[in-house]
Amino acid sequence: MDKKKLNFGSKEKKIEERLDARAVSRGVAIGKVVCLHGRKRQFYRININDSQIIHEVRRFRVAVKLAAGQLAKISLPKKKEFTETRADIFAAHLLILEDKSLHSKIETFIEQEKVNAEWAVKTVTEDYIAKQKIISDERLRERYIDLEDVADRLLTALGGSARSAAVFEKNSIIVAKELKPSTLIELIESQPQAIITENGGWTSHSFILAREMDLPAVTGVKRILRLVHNGDKVIVDGFAGQVILKPEKQTVENYKNAADDFHRLKSVAAEITKGKLKTLDGREIIIRANLDLPKGYVQAKRSGARGVGLYRSEFLFNQFKGFPSEQEQIKAYRKIAALVGAEGVRIRTFDLSIEHLADESEAREKNPALGLRAIRLGLSHPKEFRIQLRALLQASANDINVVLPMVSDVAEIIQTKMILQQEKSSLRKKKIKYGDLRLGAMIEVPSAVLTIDEIVEEVDFLCLGTNDLVQYLLAVDRDNESVAESFRTLHPAVLRALKIVLRAAEKKGISVIICGEMAGSPVYVPILLGLGATELSMNVNSIVRVSRVVAAIALEETRELVGKLELCRTPDEVENAASEFYRKNWSHLFPGEIFPPKKKYKI
C-alpha cells in the first residue's frame, strides 16, 4: 500500500484533529473509542442489562473479601523491625476497604448506571480521591494515596473473580496508556478494530500479537486518555502513524476506501508461490512462523511457512487464566505439533516473570526485565517447571523441539537436562510414554553471546531473539516509548553479536533460527542473510513480504553489503551505508525512504 495514498488532502476544519503517532502494526481502522484503565489488570466500561446487575454486585463483594484477606495476610509482620508502621498502614487500608458507605455507593452505582463492577469501583473511588485531594490539612490530604492503593487492590481482586459476561461493540478501538498482552487476548472475542497507546515499542508483546492478529496499532500518543472519551469516533492510520480525532465526513470516506484497498491488496499478496524459497544465486532460506495463537498456522502455511520457529507457550496463561495443568499442557502441545506436522514446532518454555506465579505482595519487582524470569524462574520454581517439562516429554511423540528462554549461562542448560533425565526416568517407572525431544536455547542475553562456544556444545539448535538481544546489549527497555529512539537494531554491537552466534553455530553444525522481529522486516533481512542466517522465523503477516525480498536478492550481494556495514562505527553510519547500498542495488525493492527519521518506526 502506498503510504502517500493515505495522506489525504482533506481540508482541515476546526474540529478535526490529527495526532502524530508511531505506527507499530499496519492497517487503517475507523471506530469508537473504548478506554482501558487499571494497572495490574486492565478494565473498561461495560454496559450491562438488568439481569446482570446481581452478578456484578456479587463480583464486587467477592473482590472485597479477597482484598481484605490479602491485606490481613500482608499486614502480619514477618520481621520484627517494621511491625508497627506496616501494621498501621494496612490496618488503615482495611478500614477504607470495609467502609460500609463506600460499599453502598459502589453497589448503587452498579444498579443505577448499569455498569460492570470495575467501572463502578473506578468512578466512585475517583470521586473519593478527588475530594480527599482538596482537603486543606496536609496530613489528611496525603491519605489520597492510601485510597488509590486500596482502589487498585480492589480492581486487581476483581480480576481474580469471574469476568463480566458482556463484551464491547465490534467496531471498537482500544485506547490505553499501555496495553498488556493478557488484556488483548481477553478482548479478542469483541473483535476490536485497532489499538492506540501512549507507550510501547515495535517489539512489545502486545504489538507482536496485534500484527499477528492483523490489528492496526499506533503508539506514542501522549496523554491520549485525556484527549478521548468512551464512544468518541476516531481513525487510526497504521501506515502514516496518525490518529484522527473527530474526523470530518470526507476524511472518513477517504479512509474507508483506503481500508478496502488495503484488504484487497493483502488477499492478492497471500497468493505467493509455494515450494522452496531461494535467493537469486540459489541459497535456500527457510521461513518459519512465530506463533502465539495456534490457529494462525493455517495462514502461515498458506504463505509458505515451514513449521513454527517460536511458539510462545506463556500465552497459555491467558487461555487458562493462570498456570495450566499438566494435562492441559499436554493437550495444547500435542495440538500445535499435530497441526504443524513434519516441519516441527519449537516450543519455548514459559517466558514469564515472578508476578505470574506468586501473589502480588511477593512478586513486586522493581525491574522485572532483569528479575526472576524465564529460565531463571523455571529453575527456581522446579514444581511448575517440571510440570511443563513432563508435559513436553509426553507430547513429544509428535516431534517437539523445546527452547529455553533467556539463557545466560550454560549451567542453566545442563541443569535443565538433568531435570529432563529425572523426569524421563520417573515417567518410565510409571510406564507413561514419552518421546525424545530436542533442546535449544534462546540467545538473547549478552552473556550467552560471549559464552556461545560452551552453549553450542549442549544444545541441538539455537534461536536468536533479537528483540531482547538489542534490549540487553544496548540497555534500552523495549517497552519504553521514551527510549524507543535508542533501540537501534543496526547498532554495530548488535551486528557483531549476531555474527559471533551464527559463526559458532555453523562451526558446530547446528541450526540458528532468527526469531526476533528483525527477521520479519524486509529491510533487515538482507543484512541477516549477509551475516550468515539461513532460517528466519516471523510473524505470519510478514512472511509474504519477506519471501519476496529473499527471492529477489543474491546472497553474494548481501555479503558485500555486510562487508560495508562492518566498517561502520555507529548505528547512524550503518543505516547510512545500508541506505546507500539499497538505493544503488535494490531501489526496485525498496523505493522511498528506507530508514526514516527516528521519530517513527520503520519496516
Contact pick of 312, 346, 488, 491 for ligand PEP (by CB under 6 A): 312
**Residues 6 or more apart in contact with residue 39 via CB below 8 angstroms:** 152, 156
Match 547498532 to its residue by C-alpha cell. Answer: 491
> Smaller CB distance to ligand PEP: residue 56 or 468?
468
> Smaller CB distance to Mg ion: residue 172 or 467?
467
> Smaller CB distance to ligand PEP: residue 346 or 390?
346
CB of 516 to ligand PEP, least distance (A): 3
466 binds, among Mg ion, ligand PEP, none (CB under 5 to 8 A by kind): ligand PEP
3-state DSSP assignment of residue 475: coil
> Smaller CB distance to ligand PEP: residue 203 or 416?
203
Tell me the C-alpha distance between 465 and 146, whole Å.
41
Residues 506-525 that bind ligand PEP (CB under 6 A): 515-516
> Smaller CB distance to ligand PEP: residue 183 or 467?
467
Q: Which residues are catalytic?
A: 205, 515
**C-alpha cell read off for 10:** 482533506
Tell me the C-alpha distance between 466 and 469, whole Å.
5
CB of 257 to ligand PEP, least distance (A): 35
> Smaller CB distance to Mg ion: residue 292 or 468?
468
- Specify the stretch interacting with ligand PEP by CB under 6 A; choose among 170-178, 220-228, 465-473, 505-513: 465-473
**C-alpha cell read off for 569:** 562505527
Dmax of the chain from CA atoms? Answer: 78
- Specify the stretch interacting with ligand PEP by CB under 6 A; choose among 396-404, 462-470, 526-534, 554-562: 462-470
- Specify the stretch interacting with Mg ion by CB under 5 A; choose among 95-103, 326-334, 457-465, 476-484: 457-465
Q: Is residue 535 a contact point for ligand PEP (CB under 6 A)?
A: no
DSSP designation for 385: H
Q: DSSP labels for 120-164?
A: HHHHHHHHHHHHHHT-SSHHHHTTHHHHHHHHHHHHHHHHHSPPP
What are the phi and psi torsion angles at 321 (to 5°)?
A: 55, 50
Residues 178-217 that bind ligand PEP (CB under 6 A): 203
Q: What strands, in cross-sheet order, belong to the sheet with 242-245? A: 17-20, 242-245, 233-237, 28-35, 172-176, 194-197, 217-219, 22-25
Residues 332-351 that bind ligand PEP (CB under 6 A): 351
**C-alpha cell read off for 416:** 535443565
**C-alpha cell read off for 208:** 507482536
Contact pick of 201, 465, 522, 532 for Mg ion (by CB under 5 A): 465
Build a one-symbol-per-residue string for 211-240: x at contacts with ligand PEP by CB under 6 A, - elsewhere: ------------------------------
Build a one-symbol-per-residue string for 426-445: x at contacts with ligand PEP by CB under 6 A, - elsewhere: ------------------x-
201 binds, among ligand PEP, Mg ion, none (CB under 5 to 8 A by kind): none
| Strands 400-404, 233-237: pairing kind | unpaired
Contact pick of 183, 466, 489, 542 for ligand PEP (by CB under 6 A): 466
Contact pick of 216, 294, 307, 465 for ligand PEP (by CB under 6 A): 465
| Strands 286-291, 17-20: pairing kind | unpaired
Give the angle subtended at the CA of 243 by the CAs of 237 and 246, to the nearest 5°. Answer: 120
3-state DSSP assignment of residue 451: coil
Packing angle of the helix pair 50-75, 117-133 (nearest 10 deg): 60
CB of 294 to ligand PEP, least distance (A): 16
> Smaller CB distance to Mg ion: residue 444 or 557?
444
Which residue, judged by CB position, is nearest to Mg ion in the bound state? 468
Contact pick of 242, 467, 489, 542 for ligand PEP (by CB under 6 A): 467
Distance separating the N- and C-terminal Cα atoms of the chain: 13
> Smaller CB distance to ligand PEP: residue 59 or 205?
205
> Smaller CB distance to ligand PEP: residue 182 or 242?
182
**C-alpha cell read off for 164:** 463480566
Strand partners, 401: 346, 438
Strand partners, 397: none
**C-alpha cell read off for 601:** 518506526
Comparing CA positions, the residue from 524, 543, 520 lying closest to residue 582 is 524
Match 487498585 to its residue by C-alpha cell. Answer: 152
CB of 468 to Mg ion, least distance (A): 4
557 binds, among Mg ion, ligand PEP, none (CB under 5 to 8 A by kind): none
Q: Are 392 and 347 in contact (CB under 8 A)?
A: yes
- Specify the stretch interacting with Mg ion by CB under 5 A; choose among 146-154, 204-212, 440-448, 523-531: 440-448
CB of 442 to ligand PEP, least distance (A): 7
Q: Is residue 468 a contact point for ligand PEP (CB under 6 A)?
A: yes
Strand partners, 535: 286, 513
Tell me the C-alpha distance between 470 and 203, whole Å.
10
Comparing CA positions, the residue from 470, 466, 491, 518 lying closest to residue 574 is 491
Tell me the C-alpha distance between 382 and 419, whole Å.
9
- In total, the chain counts a number of residues equal to 603
Q: Is residue 373 a contact point for ligand PEP (CB under 6 A)?
A: no
CB of 404 to ligand PEP, least distance (A): 12
128 residue type, one letter: Y
Tell me the C-alpha distance between 39 and 279, whole Å.
47
396 binds, among Mg ion, ligand PEP, none (CB under 5 to 8 A by kind): none
CB of 244 to ligand PEP, least distance (A): 30
CB of 464 to ligand PEP, least distance (A): 7
CB of 465 to Mg ion, least distance (A): 4
Residues 341-360 that bind Mg ion (CB under 5 A): none
> Smaller CB distance to Mg ion: residue 216 or 465?
465
42 binds, among Mg ion, ligand PEP, none (CB under 5 to 8 A by kind): none
Which residue ranges make up the site for Mg ion (CB under 5 A)?
444, 465, 468
Which residue ranges make up the site for ligand PEP (CB under 6 A)?
203, 310, 312, 351, 444, 465-468, 515-516
